[in-house]
Every structure is written in structure tokens, then in C-alpha cells.
Amino acid sequence: MLALSLLDRAGAAGAKITPQRKVICRALECSGDHPDVDQLLARARESDPGLSLASVYRTLRALEDLDLVWKHDFGDGRARYEVRHDDHHDHLIDTISGQIVEFHDPELEALKKRIAARLGYRLEGHSLALFGRPADGESQTP
């Protein structure tokens, strides 16, 4: 559980909180996966059927500008979103089922920093997506 809700953090960061944004924030926060804009709209419309795609886009852009959400590109041409939290993780995308597996590897995190340092940079952010199919030839079910 997050200490502060996405909405609280958006408000604290100075974002304008409208009733539409409340609904969209809650829908994203309740999403345990990585919804794209259409999926998020469908979920948010369960609370507010009048919600427009444009307000979802605008809200996500505002949240992104405030560094409160992550925008992912998992290679299928659809941007996916997730609430930003302190625990960093990377993603493995099952190319057969489309399932997204989250993982964290301390060695990998250290390696990313070493690579950046070797290239003369201090790491500010990173995003890594692995793509694979189940090694046993069958898709894993969650």
C-alpha cells in the first residue's frame, strides 16, 4: 500500500484536482497491472460513464510531468501506465501471452549504474524491458 494516494501526491505537487482526475487517479491506482489509455478509460468509466479519452490523456500527461506515473513502452505500440513508487522494478514481457512479469535484481541495478559511470554519466533514470517466451514452450499462467 502506498503511504499517500496518487491523488494526495498530485494535489501536494500542485496539480489541479478535478472530479474527472479523481476518478482517473483512483482507476490507475486500483490497477494491479499496466493499463494502456483505453483500458484505463474503460475502468474509470465504471465510476464516471461520461469521462472522455481526452481527459484521460490530459490527466496522464499531468501526472507524468509531476513524475507520479511511469509510462512504459512494451513494444506493442501502446503506451502503458503505472503509478510510480519507490520500489523500482523492471519488466519481462511474455511475447506469447502478453503477460507482464515484474522483477527486481540488485545485481542488474548495480550494473546499470556501472555502465552509466563507465560512459561518463551519473544515472538519473532507467527503464528496461525484456521480451521472451516461456522456456518450456508453454505460456505461464499468473
Q: Which residues are annotated as a binding site?
A: 88, 90, 109, 126
Q: How far is Cα 106 from Cα 64, in angstroms, rounded to an integer?
A: 26
Under the binding rule (CB under 5 A), the answer on residue 102 touching Zn ion is yes
Long-range contacts of 86-94 (CB under 8 A, 24+ apart): 90/127, 90/128, 90/129, 90/130, 91/34, 91/128, 91/129, 91/130, 92/129, 92/130, 92/131, 92/132, 93/129, 93/130, 93/131, 93/132, 94/132, 94/133, 94/134, 94/139, 94/140
**Identity of the residue, 38 or 102, whose beta carbon is nearer to Zn ion in the bound complex:** 102
Which stretch in 23-31, 50-58, 100-108, 125-133 sits in contact with Zn ion by CB under 5 A?
100-108
From the list 17-25, 97-105, 111-119, 134-142, the region that binds Zn ion by CB under 5 A is 97-105
Binding segment for Zn ion (CB under 5 A), chosen from 23-31, 58-66, 98-106, 121-129, is: 98-106
3-state secondary structure of 70: strand
Q: Shortest approach of Zn ion to residue 80 CB, angstroms?
A: 9
For Zn ion, the closer CB: 52 or 140: 140
Taking CB under 5 A as the rule, does residue 73 contact Zn ion? no
Residue numbers at the binding site for Zn ion (CB under 5 A)? 82, 102
